[in-house]
Amino acid sequence: MKNQEFSPFESVERALARWWVMVILMIIGGSAGWIFHFFYPPVFEAKAVITINIDFEKRQLTQYEEDSAFSAAGAIITSSGVKNLVIAEAQANGYSLDLSQIQENFYLERKQSVWELRVRDQEPKVAAELTNIWAEKATEVLNAALKHALQADQLQAQVNGLKNCLAGAPGQTATTQLDCKSISQEQIQATVKGLTGELVQEKKSSLGIIPIMTIGLTEVAGVPDKPAVFGQAGLVLAGAFIGLIVSLWGINTLKVSQHE
C-alpha cells in the first residue's frame, strides 16, 4: 500500500472532473432537507401592527433624539411590565403562558415608524389572540407613557415661566401670561420646587416617550390560514451542503482506492 499525500488542489480537480456527481448528491441532499421539513409540526404566525409617528412641525429633533424616542417605544413593547400584563390577560382568557414561552414565540420587528408584533403557535387561533393581547397591552402602556410625556411638557412650560419671573422677565407659559408682580419671590421659588418634583416624576413615568408622538394600533392580527415556512431554507441548504461533502469524500476516496 502506498502512502497518498493529501493535495487540496488535486482533490478539487478530481471533484470538478466529476461535477455531475456533486450536483446529483447536492440535489438529493437538498431534497432530503426539504422533505424532512414536513415532519416538523406546523407553526402558524399572526401579526399586529403598532404605528408610532413624530410630529416634526411641533418640534425639531436631532437624529439621536429621534432614535432614542423610537428605541424607548420598542423597549416598552418588549418590557417585562408589558409581558406580565400579557401573561395575566392570556391566563384570564384560558391560555397557559409564561415568560419562557414569550421569549421563544414572541417577535418584534421595526420598519421605520411601524412596529410589527408577531406570535407563533401550533394553533392559528391562539397565535392571533395572543398577538392581539400583546398589541393591545403594549398600546395601552405606550399611550399611558405619552400622557405622562404631555403632562411633563406642560409642567416644563410652567417652570420656565416661573423662572422667567425670578429672572425679572415676563413669565410665559404655554397658555397664560403670568403676572410676576402679583407673586412674591418666595412663592415663586416654592412653586418652582414643587413643580420640579412633579416634572421629574412625570418624565420618569414617560419612559422615554416624547409629547410630539402619536401612537396607534393600526392593524389587529387575523387568524392565519397557512402555516409559516420556518427553517425550510436552512434545512435545504444544510442538506445540499451535506451532499457536497459526501460527494467530495466519495470521489476522493474512490480515486485513492484505485491507486492502492
Query: Taking the domains of the chain in order of start, what are their residue ranges?
Result: 8-40+230-259, 44-219
User: What count of other Cβ atoms lies within 10 Å of the Cβ of residue 44?
Assistant: 20
| CB proximity list for 8: less than 8 A, separation 6 or greater | none
pLDDT digit string, tens, across residues 94-106: 999 999 999 999 9
pLDDT at site 174 = 43
Q: Note every long-range contact of 60-69, with CB atoms under 8 Å and residues 24 or more positions apart, other chains counting.
A: 61/210, 65/210, 68/208, 69/208, 69/209, 69/210, 69/213
* Cα dist from 182 to 124, 178, 187, 188, whole Å: 66, 9, 10, 10
Report the SS3 class of residue 40. Answer: coil
pLDDT digit string, tens, across residues 119-150: 999 899 999 999 999 999 999 999 999 999 99
What's the farthest any 2 CA atoms get from each other in the chain? 110
C-alpha angle 110-114-117 in degrees, rounded to nearest 5: 65
Q: Which portions of the chain are predicted below pLDDT 50?
A: 1-3, 174-176, 256-260
